A and B are shown apart, each in its own frame.
Chain A
Amino acid sequence: MRLKHLLTTTLVSLTTLTSAIYQDAAYTTDWHIPLLGAPVPDSTFFHTPSIDSKASLIYTLSEQNILGAIKPKDGSLVWRTSLDGKGRGVARKATEKVITGLGGNVEARRAGDGRVVWTNSFPETVQDVRVEASQNVLVLFDDGKVRRLASGSGDVVWEWDGLDKSDKVHSLIDNFGKWTVVSVSKDHKLRATDISSGAEVLFSESNITDLEQIFGTSEDTGLIFWMENDKTILKNAIIVAKESKTVATMDPEYEVQSVQMFQSSATSYFVHYQSATHSWLESYFLTPLGLEKVYNTDSQFGQSALAPGQPPSNEKPIPFTWLSPFEGIKIMAVNGIDPLAIVKFNFSDASPVTGFTFAISEVIEKADKTFAVRSFVTGSNGDTHLFRDGKLVWSRQESLAGAKHSAWVELKDHKTEEIKEEVELESHQNFVAAYIHRTTRHVQELVTYGLPWLTQLPKRLINNVLNGGNLEEVVTGPYRDFFGYRKYLVLLNDAHILSAVNVGAQGKLAWQMDLNRGDTKLGEVVALYHMGNGIVSIVDKDGTHLKIDAYQGRYLHAEKLGKKISSTTLVDDAGTPTIIGFTPCGCAVIVNTKKALSAPMHITIRSSDSTLTGYKLTTNDDKALTWSFAAPPGQTIRTLTPRPAHDPTASLARVNADRSVRYKYLNPHLLHITTTSPADNTLTSFLLDSVSGEILATTTHTSVDTSYPPRALVTENSLFYTFFTDDRTPGTTTKSHTLISTDLFESPLKNDRGPLANAEEVSSLDPERKNGKPTTESRAYILPNPPLALGVTATGQGITTKDILLYLRSPTASLLALPKRVVSALRPVGREPDEADREEGLAPYSPVLPVPNEGVLNHERKLVSWRDVKVEVSPSGLESTTLVAVVGEADVFGTRVSSSGEFDRLGKGFNRVQLVLTVVGLFVGVLAIRPRVGKGGVGRKWRGM
């Protein structure tokens, strides 16, 4: 088959060109934290994967829309999958299956392995899913339609569309065997509509403006609970009785934050209240006269969670677990009138969880009237924990999921830290005193460290030879290691949990802060920056600026700027990192310092969907408009990419095989923009100088599907961008994910600097010293998978060749490293590669880029993030090695990439034993040969023969 042949040949020719993972390096140099995210309360449950199995698994759908099954024994994942669709999903249990609804998709999965049994998709959005006793699935959509899907195939059996179209749909509930849609009419009244008869009840005394006010519906008795008047009035409606009434009125001083309702039996209900500091329970009983409060508990300090146990097989009421971080776990049941605490488990040791937001429990009553209880709990930071009889069994760091902002933090060098004060002292002394001080310091160091070093030497030598020279010393605290592999990656998610993971220690959590607990409340975060010296700055939309000690995870400083901030940028003002913020009206604010800028600064801001504006900030907060860019009519700006902050250039030119050079176009102010026009399916790539606003290069691609988000990357003199090629009138073009690779040079000629010639200085503005426009070389490549994020390796000096990192959404997402020469813009086209090309490592141009498995950096680790993924790079202490991290909504993955091999380190490939054996062998050989040579050659000569 022609195709097969084509593919195998390209694969074979290109595999040798990719970076690869050595078998013995996999799982040691890389690490992965597979996450689910904080569980969604009503979509998390214990469930047995098959009828035969007795052990149940924990199934959870998270806020990141990841569905997963967790082993209650050790917290490991049995399976997880990322659901397709937007919005908030629901998950329900069915016999041997898990049914999910997200966006317009309804899916049934096998509970044991997560394989899909059936799927169905609809144009509407799923609002609620219910599983009938017959295992058929009822789905409520946002427009009020209810569809019944067959249990085996997912096909629509019937659909009901009888709801008032102006209603806001809440849920589908079981009212004594009749399925009823709960909705809110346009005049904020609660409505219950029976789908079998169409009969509806409108509760006229209700006032519901937000669906979130409804906090509970009963399992099978048609009760609805909601709060009114700023969470001070608790109301309840009984559908059968067609009446609603105020059940409780709260003192506004309680400041109730959240309320939950749990049904204990057909007639008894618990309501769980949570304020900022306390929580308490109320118990209600259904009487012929309506709902009556029978009991309420003393309030407990801290955020607690209530969880129903297993539904009773007999008439016994459901046992409840009430978990409080300070009080332990109480098991209670509504026994007739009074809820009784039956058993209490105290936490065996100080609970690591500061507050609970939600829990599910499994309570088993043993024959001897004792209880065994397992509780799966979500902490206030989003982490999940399992407590067995009050003992913490395991925790999952779900608070790392959904990180929107991230920054690398360089750690301290403990060798310099030790002598910092001494050196400081020396710099203030006169020359002679400093010299004497320094000499004595060195002598002292020799005495202190010399002897231990000497005594350790044989041990080190033996260790080097036997253990393959594992020099990776164990470093703790905020200190870098010898190779600079240890760094902190600081992550901040939407729930304002700030975490630091130690990249050099397999992603171990270094510290975590819940920024909601700080004195300064944070709004939507605009940016997170590492400001150097272990200080991280966070800026939010309300103009709050937080300074955090990133070594320890402590607050350093918090201030309100008094202005709203819509965007920020980090600039280097004469060696001082400075954050410049922009208010929605376009005024500039210097965020992190009161000092004025020491020199004027050029800033580009995106002023609208299709325009950019360049400003010159002078030393005070004043700014002058320098240029503006407007995309052609009908086009919107999709990507805006400057050169990375750390983008060193080792060589000013590219050396050709014949030892001639082509000078790279190295403009520090490069700004790449892609704009798309949905009307005529085009994508335009603009290359700007961000100081002068001059357009340096433009390319327009036709037949582009503008619904796919393009991605772009600029590094040194190269730029890369991706898009999906397609044509509305099929046939003329190819349908494929395209990667454009462009190199910029100063001149089309060899050994020529073009307009720069012998200029010593260049300027973006001065016409005399202008660096002109680049000469571009471009190639288009076809990727087999949609790219979600682009990155490039970055080393300390930029000497090492670069790998382009592509995060692709293939079966499970993969991070692919392609050497830059594979996607080079200079691969020979239309001719056989000559000797020169071969010397430069350039294969003949072939548009189809294979994705060889050897280049997949996450190898067999399964990444599932595809919604919000970033590829973060940072140089390690070694020139050969880049630290790479993928931060996705449900994954944190880290690895090290040595694109030119580990040339500055003796890696695992260096066989020390072989070296020693060779030296010993040679020595023995010389000893053995020596007598022969002595006798035969020299001896004969001496005797004059």
Chain B
Amino acid sequence: MKITTFLALSTLVTSSLAATLRFVVPPTQGLPDPSALPPTAHITLTTTGHSYTAPIRVNNDFVVRNVTNGQSYLVETYATGWNFAPLRVDVSADGNVVEAWVTFRGNEWDNKGERIPKSLNGEIFLQQFAPAGSYYIKREGFNPMKLLSNPMILIAGVSLVALVLIPKIMDNMDPELKAEFEKEQKKTMAAFGGGAPDLAGLLSGAKAGGPSAVAPAAAGVKERKGKGGRR
């Protein structure tokens, strides 16, 4: 009879050449139910000349068989919507000792992070952190608050309020105080060449803004207004 039934023997034969590695996704606060990971989730083991891929299984683990011994592997876990830390997994030359650490992308390979604990039956825990962000950005819609907080709108609003409020305050003022205020105002007006301080005039006048420069400009404004009136 040619058939040979040797379960124990065959595993022994394979383990002397290659190891079987098991990885498991432990439930964490961020991912209480690892079966939420998509069926396309997989891990890759890479080192020079060797590369292995294993898909996620129904019990949320990954099994990589026939892994060549005596190598140091970069283990990456890919799952849409989730981020996992890259791991460094060393398999000893006889395949019996498997050690795992967190590793850092872009750092020297010997710069190992914390050692990864293993379960009682030798499964390596994958380190999951923070779900990956959304694929989309929301378009900024019409926001009235944002429109109102615009500095231009604010300036306009304050001047509008002042325009309405100041005459009202003046009306409600104590008559004596009001008289005094008007007197002061007249003085100021006189200093500006007799007219009321005119914003347009100020702006169209010389940049320096000194009284000598302002005076003719203010006169010009007056004249223009006059013409407009006759029309």
Binding site for B on A (CB under 8 A): 1-4, 6-8, 11, 15, 20-24, 26, 79, 81, 84, 107, 110, 113-123, 155-162, 195-198, 681, 705, 707-708, 724, 726-728, 730-736, 782, 784-786, 810-812, 847-848, 852-854, 856, 859-860, 862, 864, 908-909, 911, 914, 938, 941-942
Given contacts A3-B102, A198-B2, A734-B105, 8 further A-B contacts (CB under 8 A): A20-B137, A26-B135, A160-B4, A162-B3, A736-B106, A848-B105, A854-B135, A859-B136
State whether A909 and B139 are in contact (beta carbons under 8 Å apart), knowing that A79-B39, A785-B78, A853-B134 are contacts in the complex.
Answer: yes
Is the C-beta of B92 less than 8 angstroms from some C-beta in chain A? no
A158–B66 touching, CB < 8 Å: no
List, in ascending order, chain A residues with CB within 8 A of B3's CB.
158, 160, 162, 195-196, 198
Sort A-B residue pairs by CB-CB distance and give the 5 closest, nearest first.
Answer: A859-B135, A198-B2, A162-B2, A731-B110, A23-B136
Q: A734 CA to B80 CA in the complex, in Å?
A: 25
Contacts of A26 in B (CB 8 A): 135-136
Report B23-52 residues with CB < 8 Å from chain A CB.
38-42, 44, 46-49, 51
Question: Do A726 and B130 contact each other (CB < 8 Å), given the known contacts A84-B53, A120-B65?
Answer: no
CB–CB A911/B46 < 8 A: no
Interface centre among A726, A728, A909 (most CB of B within 10 A): A726
- Cα of A853 to Cα of B82 in the assembled complex, Å: 10
B107 at interface by CB-CB < 8 Å: yes
B72 at the interface (CB under 8 A from A): yes
Does B109 contact A731, Cβ atoms closer than 8 Å? Answer: yes
Q: A159-B10, A731-B108 are in contact. Are A3 and B134 (CB under 8 A)?
A: no
Closest to B63 in A: A119
B181 interface contact, C-beta 8 A: no
Do A784 and B66 touch across chains, with their CB atoms under 8 A apart?
Answer: no
Which residue in chain B gives the minimum CB-CB distance to A858? B135
Q: Please state if B137 and A909 are interface contacts (CB–CB under 8 Å).
A: no
Instruction: Tell me whether B186 is interfacial, beta carbon within 8 Å.
Output: no
Known: A110-B58, A158-B4. A727 touches B108 (CB 8 A): no
Name the contact of A811 in the complex, choosing from B38, B105, B107, B228 (C-beta under 8 A).
B38
Instruction: Say if the beta carbon of B76 comes within 8 Å of chain A.
Output: yes
- CB pair A854 B137 closer than 8 Å: yes
Beta-carbon contact of A853 and B135 below 8 Å: yes
B106: contacting residue among A120, A730, A848, A914, CB under 8 A: A848
Give chain B residues whose Cβ lies under 8 Å from the Cβ of A3.
85, 102, 104, 113, 129
A941 and B106 contact, Cβ closer than 8 Å, known pairs A24-B139, A197-B1, A812-B40: no
15 A–B contact pairs at CB < 8 A? A4-B129, A20-B136, A22-B137, A23-B136, A23-B137, A26-B136, A117-B57, A734-B107, A735-B109, A812-B80, A862-B40, A862-B80, A908-B139, A909-B140, A941-B225
B66–A119 CB distance below 8 A? no
The listed residue (A21, A24, A733) touching B109 by CB distance below 8 A is A733
Within 8 A of A (CB), among B121-149: 129-130, 132-142
B130 touches A4 (CB 8 A): yes
Contact A158 B137 (CB under 8 A): no
Q: Are A21 and B57 in contact (CB under 8 A)?
A: no
Which of A705, A730, A784, A854 has the most chain B CB within a 10 Å cutoff?
A730
Question: When the two chains form their complex, are residues B108 and A782 in contact, meaning their CB atoms are under 8 A apart?
Answer: no
Across-interface contacts of A107 in B (CB, < 8 A): 55
Interface size class of B (residues with CB under 8 A): 35 or more
Select from chain B the residue with minimum beta-carbon distance to A726. B48
Interface SS, A side: loop
Query: Interface 1/0s, chain B 57-70, versus A by CB < 8 A?
Result: 11000010110000
User: Most chain-A CB neighbours within 10 Å: which of B108, B113, B140?
Assistant: B108
**How many Å lie between the Cα of A359 and that of B87 in the bound state?**
47
Docked complex Cα distance between A942 and B113 (Å): 84
State the Cβ distance, A539 to closest chain B Cβ, in Å: 36
- Minimum C-beta distance from A278 to chain B (A): 45
| Residues on B with beta carbons closer than 8 Å to the beta carbon of A941 | 225, 229
Within the assembled complex, what's the spacing in Å between the Cα atoms of A84 and B76?
Answer: 17
Q: Which residue of A lies closest to B38 (CB)?
A: A811
Q: Closest residue to A22 on the B side, CB-wise? A: B139
Asked whether any CB of chain A lies closer than 8 Å to the CB of B15, the reply is no
Contacts of A727 in B (CB 8 A): 48, 109
B57 touches A156 (CB 8 A): no
A734 with B106, Cβ < 8 A, contacts A784-B76, A811-B40 known: yes
Question: What residues on A are CB-neighbors of B53 within 8 Å?
Answer: 84
* Given A735-B46, A782-B106, A914-B142, CB of A156 within 8 Å of CB of B7: yes
Bound Cα distance from A909 to B138, whole angstroms: 10
Residues of B within 8 Å of A123, CB to CB, are 66
What residues of chain B lie closer than 8 Å to A122, measured between beta carbons?
A: 66
> A705–B54 Cα gap in the complex (Å)?
20
Which residue of the partner chain, among A11, A158, A782, A864, contacts B6 with CB atoms under 8 Å?
A158
Q: How far is B220's CA from A70's CA once the two chains are assembled, in angstroms?
A: 85
Q: Which residues of A contact B44 (CB under 8 A)?
A: 786
- Whether A117 contacts B140 by the Cβ 8 Å rule is no
A667 CB to nearest chain B CB (Å): 32
Residues of B within 8 Å of A734, CB to CB, are 105-109
Report how far A853 CA is from B79 CA in the complex, Å.
12
The CA-CA distance from A26 to B46 in the complex, in Å, is 34
Say how far A701's CB is from chain B's closest CB, in angstroms: 14
Whether B100 is near chain A, meaning CB under 8 Å from some CB there, is no
- Let me know if A733 and B40 touch, CB within 8 A: no
Q: How far is the CA of A705 from the CA of B48 in the complex (A)?
A: 5
Docked CA distance A3–B88 (Å): 14
Nearest chain B CB to A172 CB, angstrom units? 14
What's the nearest-Cβ distance from chain A to residue B92, in Å? 13
Closest to A783 in B: B105
Q: Is the CB of B48 within 8 A of A681?
A: yes
Point out the residues of chain A lying under 8 angstroms from B74, CB to CB.
Answer: 726, 735-736
* Most B C-beta atoms less than 10 A away, residue of A20, A26, A119, A909: A119
| B residues less than 8 Å from A162 (CB atoms) | 2-3
The reply to whether B47 and A726 contact each other, CB–CB distance below 8 Å, is yes
Query: B7 contacts A158, CB within 8 Å?
Result: yes
Q: How far is A788 from B6 in the complex, measured between Cα atoms in Å? A: 42
CB neighbours (8 Å) of B110 from chain A are 730-732
Q: How far is the CA of A733 from the CA of B74 in the complex (A)?
A: 12
- Chain A residues with Cβ below 8 Å from B54 are 119
**Closest Cβ of chain A: how far from B90's Cβ, in Å?**
8
Please, how many angstroms separate the alpha-carbon atoms of A552 and B230 in the complex? Answer: 74
Q: Could you say which residues of chain A place their CB within 8 Å of the CB of B51? A: 707-708
Note all chain B residues with C-beta closer than 8 A to A733: 108-109
Name A859's closest neighbour in chain B (CB-CB): B135
B98 at the interface (CB under 8 A from A): no
Q: Which residues of B contact A120 (CB under 8 A)?
A: 65
A16 shortest CB reach to chain B, Å: 10
Residues of B within 8 A of A7 (CB): 83, 129-130
Residues of A near B132 (CB, < 8 A) are 853
Enumerate chain A residues within 8 angstroms of B42, measured Cβ to Cβ.
811
B172 is an interface residue with CB less than 8 A from chain A = no
Q: Give A23 to B129 CA distance when docked, in angstroms.
A: 25
A116 touches B138 (CB 8 A): no
Contacting pair A811 B1 (CB below 8 A): no
Chain B residues lying within 8 Å of A909, measured Cβ to Cβ, are: 139-140
Is B56 an interface residue, CB under 8 A from the partner?
Answer: yes
- Residues in B neighbouring A118, C-beta threshold 8 A: 57, 63
Known contacts A197-B1, A782-B105, A938-B225: A119-B65 contact under CB 8 Å = yes
Tell me the smallest distance from the CB of B49 to a CB of chain A, in Å.
5
> Once the chains are docked, how many angstroms separate the CA of A812 from the CA of B37?
12
Closest residue on chain A to residue B3 by CB atoms = A160
Cα(A537)–Cα(B13), bound, Å: 56
CB distance from B193 to the nearest CB of A (A): 15
Please give, as numbers and ranges, the residues of chain A lying within 8 Å of B159 by CB-CB distance.
Answer: none
Check A732/B109 contact, CB under 8 A, given A3-B85, A859-B135. Answer: yes
Q: What's the least CB distance linking A163 to chain B, in Å?
A: 10
Give the docked Cα–Cα distance between A84 and B11 (Å): 23
What separation, in Å, do the CA atoms of A853 and B137 have in the docked complex?
10
A81 and B55 alpha carbons, distance in the complex (Å):
10
